[in-house]
Structure 1
Amino acid sequence: MEFEKMKVEIWSDIMCPFCYIGKRKFDNALEQFSHRDKVEVIWKSFDLAPNLKTDTSIKSVDFLQKHKGMSKAQAQHAIERVTAFAKETGLDYDYDKVVIANTHRGHQLIHLAGQAGFQNEMKERLLKAYFIEGRNVDDVATLIQLGQEVGLEKAAIESEFNESQFAAHIEQDILEARNIGVSGVPFFVFDRKYAVSGAQPEEQFLNVLNKAYSEWYAKQEFPELEVMQGASCDASGNCD
């Protein structure tokens, strides 16, 4: 008997450190989920710093001091803390190389890849480029290269950056997030019935996958989201 896939929608930003950690934890949980072939993952845009101007000269410590009002010691501690958290998940963040960049073009690329059928691969590639490789995710040439690596055509990427056909999709994602009460990312919504906020343990994601799937399979209806809280970055760009 054929079934449609259960949707898991994930609001996330490329510059959010907990978003990459949360993605890895969710990916690991999904790999353990026995019905993973019946799950469709959809990446939604969330812009933590829409007015941020890309600055390749500024270091992450200085950025946190200037834009978050932290002391140098507080900024360094925050970076060390999230780096250690990422390490536990198998991710080697390199904040010495991170390029402070506006992520709007990156979101365009994720939507474009979604149309082509490999949105998850594009999301993963951009997160790795930002947090591990120190690539500028606002640079068109860089984005063209990253897009081609996951299978996008150069002409399609250039067309998107020239015409911004997915700009409206990004705004729609952000409006939708506001409407369902998303105040921080990552934010995972399972079949529009349950939500997980933050980089929760794999076991938590697996539990929610099992619960949401069993109810989706039975076609039960639950109109309100039940939210499980975890480490995240809020709408003001504060990560905790």
Structure 2
Amino acid sequence: MHIKIWSDIRCPFCYIGKRHFESALNSFPEKEKITVEWKSFELDPNLKTTTTTDALTHFVESKGIDYESAKHMFNNVTAMAANAGLDFNLEQSVPANSFNALRLLHFAKEEGLANKTKEALLKAHLTEGENIDDHTVLLDLAKSVGLNTFKVKQMLESDDFAYDVRQDQMEARNLGINSVPFFVLDNKYGISGAQPVEVFSKALQDAWDKHQNNLIIVADDNSCDINGNC
């Protein structure tokens, strides 16, 4: 059974959802018969990468909300991440456009290292405060997961995989997906958001056991939309 996951490196719920999904998948009896494909969903494509301000300040200024409310939201997401075993450092994350990181993920897919690269990108952005739009950062990350840095450098300096990123976005729109993370199981079941482990477990079993003609949204919560609203 094939599972497609639309997500963005900049989305904190995408990292949490990844952990919850992985926990469910690891306990699924038929896990060896499951394949996972990472799909691109660029949040806020017009975002200009800036290294002169932190993510909290950028969030306050771009969303027009007060500092204390923003701080409370960041703390809530950080606590949710901690419950999933993740150590978020959202305030120090760099407000960076994710397009190049998503192109790198497509390159890694061709090399059979997509999941490892996805994990490294999410950790770099949400935990380590790295600039995921910086070529040097992406090259170091590529080396750490076993990718050929010479080929990655050539890719980053070209337009390679730009079309693939846009195609993923178009496929998402065609399916009615407007927020991430979004999981499509066997082209039949849709799960929106960083759902609890038990929701993923049930959906895995249902998708395995049943065959439906249309995409069914079995859960919808905790996600970031196409405009970067979380």
Which residue of structure 1 lines up, in the alignment, with residue 125 of structure 2?
A: 130
- Contact kept? 1:192, 1:225, Cα under 8 Å: no
Could you tell me how far apart the structure 2 residues matched to 1:66 and 1:231 are?
Answer: 22
Q: Quick one: distance in 2 between partners of 1:162 and 1:213?
A: 42
Where structure 2 has 5 or more consecutive residues not aligned to the other structure, the ranges are none
Determine the structure 2 residue equivalent to 1:233. Answer: 224
Aligned to 1:63, the other structure's residue is in SS state helix
**Corresponding residue number in structure 1 for 2:70:** 75
Question: 1:159 aligned to 154, 170, 177, which one?
Answer: 154
Partner Cα distance (1:97, 1:235) in 2: 22
Task: Name the CA distance, whole Å, in 2 between partners of 1:165 and 1:114.
Answer: 13
Aligned length: 230
Structure 2 residue aligned with 1:3: none
Indicate if the aligned counterparts of 1:17 and 1:82 stay in contact, CA closer than 8 A: yes
Q: CA deviation at 1:193?
A: 0.2
Q: Name 2:173's counterpart in structure 1.
A: 178
Find the counterpart in structure 2 of residue 202 from structure 1: 197
Contact preservation (8 Å) 1:193, 1:226: no
AA of the residue aligned to 1:198: G
Query: Counterpart of 1:212?
Result: 207
> Tell me, what secondary structure is at the counterpart of 2:157?
helix
Equivalent position of 2:101 in the other structure: 106
Q: Deviations over 1:82-137 (max 9, x none)?
A: 11111111111012321111100100111011000010110000000011111110
The one-letter code of the counterpart of 1:127 is L
Whole-Å Cα distance in 2 between the matches of residues 85 and 226 of structure 1? 23
AA aligned to 2:88 is Y
Quote how far apart the aligned CAs of 1:57 are.
Answer: 1.4
Q: Distance in 2 between matches of 1:96 and 1:182?
A: 28
Partner of 1:31: 26
RMSD between aligned residues: 1.1
Q: Please give the alpha-carbon distance, in whole angstroms, between the structure 1 residues aligned to 2:133 and 2:160.
A: 17
Partner of 1:163: helix, strand, or coil? coil
Per the TM alignment, residue 222 of structure 1 is displaced from its structure 2 partner at its CA by: 1.8
8 Å Cα contact 1:185/1:234 also seen in 2: yes
Amino acid at match of 1:234: D
Where do 5+ consecutive residues of structure 1 fail to align?
Answer: 1-5
Which position in structure 1 is the counterpart of 2:40? 45
Q: Separation in 1 of the partners of 2:54 and 2:134?
A: 17
- How far apart in 1 are the matches of 2:218 and 2:160? 32
Aligned partner of residue 4 in structure 2, secondary structure? strand
Instruction: State TM-score, norm by structure 1.
Output: 0.93
Deviation of 1:221 after TM superposition, in Å, equals 4.3
Q: CA deviation at 1:164?
A: 2.1
Aligned to 2:90: 95
TM-score w.r.t. length of structure 2: 0.97
Looking at structure 2, the residues matched to 84 and 204 of structure 1 have their Cα atoms a distance apart, in angstroms, of: 20
Q: Which amino acid aligns with 2:5?
A: I
Distance 1:85 1:161 in 2: 34
